[in-house]
């Protein structure tokens, strides 16, 4: 499993690149085991929880200079360094979450929520 953060950018005629948001992508996630209904529910939990974690915890805490990544408007050298610094953490997060292969584990960790708390519950102590 690999978690990717893809900036949505646009380059103006003057060469300045603006950031218009971020797309969170989960690639090669393991196929979950469980009933068809459990797997569908757990897949939606996994996607929403990882996206919430990336948007609110990662992009909401990591700084590019004086600005958190979530609020960066332009591609700058500081932004590029900050994005590059995320690589190791995303690799570790991907590795840990990629080991969660049962729908039941995602459903139980969610406790009825599709939020960052699910990711924290599954990675606690890892």
In this predicted model, what pLDDT tens digit does every residue of 51-64 receive, in sequence order?
A: 999 999 999 999 99
- As for how many domains the chain has, the answer is 1
The per-residue pLDDT for range 29-84, each reduced to its tens digit, is 999 999 999 999 999 999 999 999 999 999 999 999 999 999 999 999 999 999 99
Q: pTM score, two decimals?
A: 0.91
Judge contact between 93 and 2, C-beta under 8 A: no
The range of the structural domain enclosing residue 51 comes to 2-123
- Please tell me the distance from the alpha carbon of residue 121 to that of residue 16, in angstroms, as a whole number: 40
7: left (phi over 0), alpha (psi -120 to 50) or beta: beta
Q: Are 96 and 111 in contact (CB under 8 A)?
A: no
How far apart CA 96 and CA 14 sit, in angstroms, is: 42
Calpha distance 107→91 (Å, rounded): 23
């Amino acid at each position: 499993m690999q978690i990717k953060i893809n900036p949505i950018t646009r380059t103006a005629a003057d060469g300045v690149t603006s950031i218009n948001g971020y797309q969170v992508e989960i690639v090669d996630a393991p196929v979950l085991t469980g009933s068809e209904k459990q797997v569908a529910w757990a897949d939606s939990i996994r996607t929403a929880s990882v996206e919430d974690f990336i948007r609110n915890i990662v992009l909401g805490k990591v700084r590019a200079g004086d600005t958190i990544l979530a609020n960066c408007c332009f591609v700058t050298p500081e932004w590029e360094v900050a994005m590059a610094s995320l690589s190791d953490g995303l690799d570790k997060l991907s590795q840990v979450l990629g080991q969660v292969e049962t729908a039941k584990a995602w459903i139980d960790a969610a406790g009825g929520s599709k939020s960052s708390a699910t990711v924290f519950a599954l990675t606690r102590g890892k």
